[in-house]
Structure 1
Amino acid sequence: MPQFLNKKLLLLLVSIIVLVALIGFSLREREELSWPERFLKDTTGFVGNIFSKPVSGVTGFFEDLSDLQNTYEENKKLKARLDEYVLLKTQVQDLKNENKELRDILGKEDDLRKYTPVQATVIGRNPERWHEMLSINKGTLNGIQKDMAVITSEGLIGKVKSATQFTSTVQLISSSDETNRISAIVQGDENAFGVIEGFDSEKNQLLMKRIPYDKKIKKNSLVITSGYGGIFPKGLPIGKVVDVKIDQYGLNQTAYIEPATDFYDINNVMVVQREVGAEEPTEDDGKDEAE
């Protein structure tokens, strides 16, 4: 038994000596490695390569996930700022439009020297009669009276239908009321007289009727008030001609007029009163002229 232990002890000692020698041998600086060392290094590198790619992929995935979360938060903040910008831009544009509209109205005062202008603001409009009536914030206390012409900076929109002390109701020229007629002129080499009566709601165009069949009407010709009805001043813009059709009997023409003013969007107006009497019709005025 002691002899067997001595052999085992001797073998352990020899193994330790060999291991120490190998370690010392491997630590020496030399240009070439032994094949066991090369095999060990290649095996270790190959195994490390296999595991390094998945580890790098997982690490990159979590880094990308973190970047994506940061990008989402930044995008959310930028979107909120963009919404604020759009709202601000809308408000600025609205103020610009209102400012331009008021400036244009003030500029019309020089053109209306022969008339008394009263500036007013639209305060009410019935959705069911959007193209018929609107209410303004000026009344008889401001000198407003029935049948006064009402305009915007672009042109004629209607007349005062009724007035109270503080407010007035305006009947638009697009109203379907049969009595709502305006004596008008199509400007050209030779003026053509007619009457604005009727409105095509589908085309959003006024109808100018009773134009003599022999009058040559050109498209884009301007249409203005004639002033012969005694209510509307002469020369107020109404719109421009976009189409002309002969009536079924071939005696008169009907011109389709694109209004100078957008009847759908009216905010500020001016009420004007004539300070001169109605002009006498000329031979070219035609018969049965309306207001």
Structure 2
Amino acid sequence: MPQFFSNKRLILLLVGVIFLVALISFSLRDRDNVSLPEQIIKDVVGFGQSIFSKPTHYITGVFDNVDSLLNTYEENKRLKGRLEEFAKLQADVHDLSSENTRLREIVGKEDDLRNYEPIQATVIARNPDQWEKKLILDKGQVHGIEKNMAIITAQGLIGKVILTTPFTSTIELLSSQNPNYRVSAMVMGEKEIFGLIEGYDDERKELILKRIDSNIEIEVGQKIETSGLGGVFPKGLLIGEITEVSTDDFGLTKMAYIKPAADFTLLDHVMITKRAMTTVGGSEEDSTATDDAQGDEDGS
């Protein structure tokens, strides 16, 4: 014990620790005022922090500015690339718009070939001697009926107008044996195949489709519709269905027998088709010279 108190260094150390603990306890208390030593220490530390913090913030800001500049450069490159893409996109849109306009014009022409105004009519007379050839309707010139207008039923095409009076129309049916009665037709499928309805087989009660290229394949069961190219019949009128395929007498082209979609024997109410568009030289009598090239319909 005497040795402990005789060690002055140890005593000073203990006194210093006690003083430090007391100082810490005093500084941690909730107080409204700061002691003078604390003020001095805080001011000295704050001044040192400000000396070091300002250059640090400046250098950090410089690096941030450089980084922002690099990011701006990269973003500018990306935006320039997007502008080039936008310019190309604008050119593509313009090309597509022009093409769309041209295609709409083509579709409009296609629609014109199909468009017609249906006029309801009733069969008022039928000659027993020409039961499969002609009939008379109760609509005539005063109703806007003209020669060569196509006649249809709900099932399909049956004939065309060959004679008009102010109040009646005479119809020649597809089952007529008139050798000049031709209908421009097409076989429906993946690819449109064109031919001519020429003649009617009384025994089979079927139409005859001729002038089909021998290299073209057609099958039984395919539908036959009007092509709209003859200037008389609108496009898309159902004619019938193929029942047999063979070759013509010379073996150069194919021919097919067509079962009519409409029943020519049971006709009461029909529709007269007033076309919205006719082809140049659409008159049946004027189309004989172009049958092979265009497949025009000819009437007597």
Deviation, structure 1 residue 215: 1.1
Cα separation, 2, equivalents of 1:198 and 1:114: 27
Please show how residues 102-113 of structure 1 align to structure 2 within 5 Å: none
Cα separation, 2, equivalents of 1:273 and 1:181: 19
Match of 2:263 in 1: 262
Give the AA of the match of 1:145.
E
List per-residue Cα deviations over 1:172-208 (Å, max 9, x = no partner).
0111111110000011222221100100011100001
Match of 1:165 in 2: 166
Does residue 177 of the first structure (1) align with residue 178 of the second (2)? yes
Cα separation, 2, equivalents of 1:279 and 1:147: 14
Deviation, structure 1 residue 286: 6.2
Contact 1:183 1:194 in 2 (8 A): yes
Contact 2:115 2:234 in 1 (8 A): no
Match of 2:293 in 1: 287
Please show how residues 188-267 of structure 1 align to structure 2 within 5 Å: 188-267=189-268
Which aligned segments of 4 or more residues in structure 1 are displaced greater than 4 angstroms? Answer: none
Cα separation, 1, equivalents of 2:114 and 2:241: 25
Cα separation, 2, equivalents of 1:116 and 1:247: 37
Please show how residues 82-161 of structure 1 align to structure 2 within 5 Å: 114-161=115-162
Aligned CA-pair RMSD: 2.1
Unaligned runs of at least 5 residues, structure 2: 1-112, 282-290
Give the AA of the match of 1:287.
A
Give the AA of the match of 2:293.
K
Contact 2:231 2:296 in 1 (8 A): no
Contact 1:183 1:290 in 2 (8 A): yes
Alignment CA distance shift 1:259-1:279 (3 Å): farther
Match of 2:77 in 1: none
Give the AA of the match of 1:289.
G
List per-residue Cα deviations over 1:24-74 (Å, max 9, x = no partner).
xxxxxxxxxxxxxxxxxxxxxxxxxxxxxxxxxxxxxxxxxxxxxxxxxxx
Deviation, structure 1 residue 287: 2.3
Deviation, structure 1 residue 278: 2.4
Deviation, structure 1 residue 130: 1.0
Cα separation, 1, equivalents of 2:249 and 2:149: 35
Cα separation, 2, equivalents of 1:229 and 1:174: 19
Corresponding residue pairs, total: 177
Q: TM-score, normalised by structure 2?
A: 0.56
Deviation, structure 1 residue 249: 2.1
Cα separation, 1, equivalents of 2:280 and 2:243: 28
Give the AA of the match of 1:147.
N
Alignment CA distance shift 1:155-1:198 (3 Å): same
Cα separation, 2, equivalents of 1:157 and 1:168: 14
Give the AA of the match of 1:129.
Q
Contact 1:138 1:166 in 2 (8 A): yes
Does residue 277 of the first structure (1) align with residue 249 of the second (2)? no
Cα separation, 1, equivalents of 2:154 and 2:197: 20
Quick check: which has more Rg, 1 or 2?
2
Alignment CA distance shift 1:224-1:279 (3 Å): farther
Deviation, structure 1 residue 212: 0.8
Cα separation, 1, equivalents of 2:229 and 2:272: 19
Cα separation, 2, equivalents of 1:195 and 1:118: 26
Q: TM-score, normalised by structure 1?
A: 0.58
Among all aligned residue pairs of Structure 1 and Structure 2, give the percentage whose two residues are the same amino acid.
47
Identify the range of structure 1 (183-192 vs 225-234) with the bigger mean alpha-carbon deviation.
Answer: 183-192
Deviation, structure 1 residue 289: 1.4
List per-residue Cα deviations over 1:58-111 (Å, max 9, x = no partner).
xxxxxxxxxxxxxxxxxxxxxxxxxxxxxxxxxxxxxxxxxxxxxxxxxxxxxx
Structure 2 residue matching 1:141: 3-state secondary structure: helix
Structure 2 residue matching 1:287: 3-state secondary structure: helix
Contact 2:114 2:236 in 1 (8 A): no
Deviation, structure 1 residue 117: 1.4
Cα separation, 2, equivalents of 1:224 and 1:166: 30
Contact 2:225 2:235 in 1 (8 A): yes
Alignment CA distance shift 1:113-1:175 (3 Å): closer
